Amino acid sequence: MGEQAIVIFGRVTRGDGSALPGAAVTLCDLAGDQLDRATTDGGGHYQVVPPSGGTYLLICSSAQRRPRASLVAVSDTAQRQDVGLEGGGATLAGTVGTGTEGTGTGGTGTGGLTETVLTLTDVSGVVVAVTRSDAAGTYLFADLPEGVYTLTAAGSGIPPVAETVQVPAEGRVTHDLTLRLGAVLSGTVRSATGSRPVAEALATLVSADGSVVGSAVTGENGTFRFDDVGDGVYTITASGYAPVASEIEIGRGTTTEVELVLIPPSAGPEPETDPVPAPATSWGASAAPSAPSHSGNGHVPAHAAADGTPDGSDHR
């Protein structure tokens, strides 16, 4: 019976336990000299032969994974040594652009956006990695496990974009992102007479399909501004104060004074409140009645008879 060969054999796997074919396995002595070399087969199996019993250095490496070295002691029999290589098996890379002609990379024909924050999350919403685009607008995530991810890109003053990316077990995935650059709409509301700026006017921007894009209240100089407006055709309207009403009672032979307060428009919905009647002040029976004062476009629903009797009633 012949002597049994002294060999070191085993299986190389990924972090999840699956076979890793094509991995390089190198056997060296403790001085670093190479003694044998093998490549794993489709099932991740390998076999190297040492010259004799002793302690040897076994080095295993694969593209896109962290290499691993271990000491293996063998005697006069075969020695099994399984190796697991950690690290993701794929790379996700691409360019963040604006969709406009520029100096982008990779033949995308888009202008690259620098310092864009890119966030990669898994299907459970856990953040896997975060990076920023470089001066050319390119980004890269390395050592990614196989799976489905959400890639989000957000830049300063630019609406974020989120897209789904499928990452394989190994290899490189190229995924370019296009961020829409929003436009700015600004203007001034003026009165028809004298072209004076109108403060506290409500400017409303409506898209072509009738949806309200946004609203803004003008400042002291009558100006308004809408940021991050997409390209397209819009309708913009301007409105002033809403009408107000206050019920008052006018006594016979009195002078009644009323104050009406116009509420400025708001860019958002206002809570509903009940109107509070303004107080009426009597100045004595000898004073002549005066017409109630009006402010802005308010309306006073006061009803008085021509002889000074409220509502034409008979007071004796």
Strands 8-13, 79-80: parallel, antiparallel or unpaired by DSSP? parallel
Which of these ranges, 172-186, 212-226, 278-292, has the smallest mean pLDDT?
Answer: 278-292
Residue 243's pLDDT band (boundaries 50, 70, 90)?
A: confident
pLDDT above 50 (res 107):
no
Contact 111, 47 (CB under 8 A): no
pLDDT of residue 65: 78
Residue linked to tokens 């002033």:
240
CATH 2.60.40.1120 domain range(s) in the chain: 8-84
What's the whole-number average pLDDT of the chain? 80
Distance CA 279, CA 248 (A): 8
pLDDT of residue 289: 41
Per residue in 35-72, pLDDT (tens digit) is 999 999 999 999 999 999 999 999 999 876 788 999 99
pLDDT of residue 85: 87
**May I ask the CATH architecture of the domain 183-239?**
Sandwich (2.60)
pLDDT of residue 109: 39
CATH code reported for the domain at 8-84: 2.60.40.1120
Q: Please, what sign has the CA dihedral across residues 197, 202, 206, 210?
A: negative
Per residue in 294-306, pLDDT (tens digit) is 444 433 343 333 3
Please give the CATH superfamily to which domain 90-178 belongs: Immunoglobulins (2.60.40.10)
pLDDT of residue 173: 94
CATH 2.60.40.10 domain range(s) in the chain: 90-178, 183-239
pLDDT of residue 307: 41
Give the tokens for residue 88.
């993701």
Distance CA 147, CA 165 (A): 9
Residue linked to tokens 């496990």:
145
Other C-beta atoms within 10 Å of 259: how many? 10
pLDDT above 50 (res 284):
no
Per residue in 185-235, pLDDT (tens digit) is 999 999 988 889 999 999 999 999 999 999 999 999 999 999 878 788 999
